[in-house]
């Protein structure tokens, strides 16, 4: 960090702020921002909005024009070096006459992975990496996990009462949390590449599992029109083929992937409904995550019942717990949060680290990350 000045930090933070503007639309690509600075003055800035459209560096270069010559580029991710749906950004920076590139982090994509910086170096352009890297990693944690492991970043959302209950004994759960919490869920859904649930939830609640633009906070509505808002893929575990084409899932034109072990006839389903077939193994959920990674899903937002939630936790597939807690007490006959194996001693309980806590009216949003324990001897 000592090689970077206070001014460098400020410009990279601007680039990160720009990158966040693409967090609802860029998947499966990462969210990237770029700021071009010449003689201490910003001459161009841009962010990547959607896959297939110009990258952040291109947008910044367009704004800078001839002022890009002799400038320093602050980019939140190493510039790409390959021809995909767009030309390589490293080549664009070289041709524009940029003299230095500061990247927040390396790109783990095998098609890049240091090649962008190498291309810059071969053309006499100075580069540095690591400025505000932790923030850059957090912004693109889904893309980064998929590139590094082949699996998406998994977020398990649960809403509960103070005594850890998710619904009354009769199944009534609308609404445990308040309107602010429900609006926040819409924001989190909008960031996700996919929403995962199970057939039991679809049958019991008949949800849409979509992003409702009208429920998003006003700043998000102002930034993203209804037309620009991307709907996540709805992924439904349905091994018994119980989800029929009459469900509300199919009332909106957004992808649905039905996951099962055997093929079904999709003749009565909309064209946006597809199926994922997985072998019946003990690693069924693990296999599903790899399959979603193959399908370029960066982040999976899970809204499901206690059985699926418990299975995901038990198999160490959850990267992030997001819990909305309402100031209500439902009693011990109400339904519990998740089904986990019976424990005989507290030492065997899974441990989680509190990442953040936020007040939403009288509700509390808590985010936890798993604590990786050393194997017992």
Report the C-alpha gap between 267 and 26 in whole angstroms. Answer: 32
Angle formed at CA 147 by CA 143 and CA 153, multiple of 5 degrees: 50
From residue 344, how far is each of 129, 313, 348, 349 by CA, in Å? Answer: 48, 18, 8, 9
57 is a catalytic site residue? yes
225: tokens are: 């029109």
Q: At what angle do helices 115-122 and 89-96 cross, to 10 degrees?
A: 20
Pick the catalytic residue from 3, 57, 188, 214: 57
Query: Whose CA is closest to 324, among 348, 292, 360?
Result: 360
Report the C-alpha gap between 95 and 361 in whole angstroms. Answer: 52
Q: DSSP string covering 265-314, please?
A: --TTS-TTEEEEE----TTHHHHHHHHHHHTT--EEEE---HHHHHHHHH
Q: Look at phi and psi of residue 33 and say left if phi exceeds 0, alpha if psi is from -120 to 50, else beta.
A: beta
Q: Is the bond leading into 28 cis (omega within 30 degrees of zero)?
A: yes
Judge whether 232 and 192 are in contact, CB under 8 Å: yes
Report the C-alpha gap between 198 and 18 in whole angstroms. Answer: 36
Q: Which positions are catalytic? A: 57
């Amino acid at each position: 960090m000592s090689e970077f000045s206070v001014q460098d930090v400020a410009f990279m933070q601007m680039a990160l702020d720009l990158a966040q503007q693409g967090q609802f639309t860029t998947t499966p690509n990462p969210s990237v921002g770029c700021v071009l600075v010449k003689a201490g003055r910003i001459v161009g800035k841009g962010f990547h909005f959607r896959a297939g459209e110009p990258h952040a560096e291109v947008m910044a270069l367009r704004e800078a024009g001839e002022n890009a010559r002799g400038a320093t580029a602050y980019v939140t991710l190493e510039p790409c070096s390959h021809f995909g749906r767009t030309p390589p950004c490293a080549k664009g920076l070289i041709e524009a006459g940029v003299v230095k590139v500061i990247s927040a982090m390396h790109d783990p994509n095998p098609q890049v992975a240091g090649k962008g910086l190498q291309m810059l170096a071969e053309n006499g352009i100075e580069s540095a990496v690591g400025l505000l890297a932790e923030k850059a990693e957090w912004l693109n944690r889904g893309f980064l996990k998929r590139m590094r492991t082949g699996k998406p970043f998994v977020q398990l959302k649960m809403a509960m009462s103070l005594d850890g209950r998710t619904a009354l004994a009769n199944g009534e759960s609308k609404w445990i949390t308040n309107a602010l919490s429900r609006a926040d869920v819409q924001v989190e859904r909008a960031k996700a590449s996919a929403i995962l649930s199970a057939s039991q939830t679809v049958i019991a609640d008949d949800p849409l599992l979509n992003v409702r633009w009208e429920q998003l906070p006003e700043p998000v509505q102002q930034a993203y029109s209804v037309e620009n808002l991307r709907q996540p893929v709805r992924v439904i575990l349905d091994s018994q083929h119980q989800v029929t084409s009459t469900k509300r899932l199919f009332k909106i034109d957004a992808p649905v992937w039905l996951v099962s072990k055997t093929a079904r006839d999709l003749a009565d389903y909309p064209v946006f409904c597809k199926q994922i077939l997985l072998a019946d193994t003990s690693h069924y959920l693990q296999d599903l995550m790899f399959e979603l990674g193959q399908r370029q899903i960066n982040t999976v937002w899970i809204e499901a019942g206690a059985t699926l939630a418990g299975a995901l936790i038990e198999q160490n597939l959850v990267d992030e717990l997001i819990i909305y807690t309402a100031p209500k007490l439902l009693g011990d006959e109400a339904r519990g949060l998740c089904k986990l194996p019976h424990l005989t001693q507290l030492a065997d309980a899974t441990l989680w680290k509190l990442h953040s806590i936020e007040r939403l009216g009288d509700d509390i949003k808590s985010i936890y990350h798993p604590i990786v324990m050393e194997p017992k001897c």
